[in-house]
Amino acid sequence: MSSQWASPKVTADASKKKSVGKGVFRKCDKCGATMPAEVFEANFEVCPECDQHHKLSAKRWRELLLDEGKLERWDEALVPCDPLEFTDGKRYTDRVAAAQKATGASEAIETGCGAINGEPVAYGAFLFAFMGGSMGSVVGEKIARLFERATEKRLPVVLLQSSGGARMQEGILSLMQMAKTVAALEKLRAAGIPFFSIMLHPTTGGVAASIAFLGDINIAEPGALIGFAGPRVIETTLRQKLPEGFQRSEFLMTHGMVDQIVSRLELRERLTVLLRHLSRR
């Protein structure tokens, strides 16, 4: 597909080429359309040509969904420790410190209280840039507390999930978070408070195997990879070719695993309708 933003072909002599600053132009991962970076920025990282959804930072998600982008943060003081003294060529504590420096976040999830078009919500968002959004003890604890506070305050929960799964550096302590988060969610459900599970690309491993599919409404972004083990692992194990589009949002929608596929550009308005419909006391 040709793009109105595509760069013209360069025919000038190589010695006369001028450099444009790094990051001035961006190329879509799917259709290859090249356009000014500010076009992607203004469109919340959705390609105007093919609707490909590229990764969006936690800050930009807040700007997209929450009123004035404001989040009253919860449990920011919780930080991971290293009970197993794990190392895989690099110490776990060093990996955490590097992720904190690179992202400016304390962990792979942020939680708190905000509002969507005036509707108060308990809000959480995974940070995939922080060690692949992996769920360790702190991430699991923050999710459990998100559900518990929402139950106490009678707030519907909106949780954006993008994760590679359980954090291997914490071993069984990481896997225990699957049961803990589901138990906290069941208390929310028993109180009759809705949970909106938003699955982004990718939502895999222990997160997909625990809370991701347990929403009262399960919403996926277009083209997102969602499932437990990755397609290559499954093909290697089963020794057979998987169906076209396996584990993508559209495949899951067809097979009844998600309720809606919603472009992030429409997500705020869709959530507003659902919140007003399901959150009435």
At 59, the pLDDT band (50, 70, 90 cuts) reads very high
pLDDT tens per residue across span 134-156:
999 999 999 999 999 999 999 99
Examine the domain organization and report whether 38 and 94 are in the same domain: no
Q: pLDDT at position 145, please?
A: 98
- Phi/psi at 183 (nearest 5 deg)? -65, -40
Q: Can you read off the two tokens belonging to residue 30? A: 């799917």
Examine the domain organization and report whether 43 and 80 are in the same domain: no
pLDDT tens per residue across span 75-112:
999 999 998 999 999 999 999 999 999 999 999 999 99
DSSP-H helix ranges across the chain: 37-42, 58-65, 92-103, 137-153, 171-190, 205-208, 231-238, 249-254, 264-278
Residue 14, pLDDT > 50, answer: no
Q: What is the pTM of this model?
A: 0.89
Q: pLDDT at position 279, please?
A: 74
At 232, the pLDDT band (50, 70, 90 cuts) reads confident
Residue 22, pLDDT > 90, answer: no
C-alpha closest to that of 44 among 272, 219, 221: 221
Residue-number span of the structural domain to which 50 is assigned? 21-54
Residue 177, pLDDT > 90, answer: yes
- Phi/psi at 25 (nearest 5 deg)? -115, 150
Examine the domain organization and report whether 45 and 163 are in the same domain: no
String of DSSP letters for 168-205 = GGGHHHHHHHHHHHHHHHHHHHHTT--EEEEEEEEEEH
Examine the domain organization and report whether 155 and 176 are in the same domain: yes
d(CA 72, CA 153): 14
Examine the domain organization and report whether 33 and 111 are in the same domain: no
Examine the domain organization and report whether 50 and 70 are in the same domain: no
What percent of the chain clears pLDDT 90, i.e. is strictly above it? 86
Examine the domain organization and report whether 106 and 222 are in the same domain: yes
Which residues are registered as beta bridge partners of 126? 109
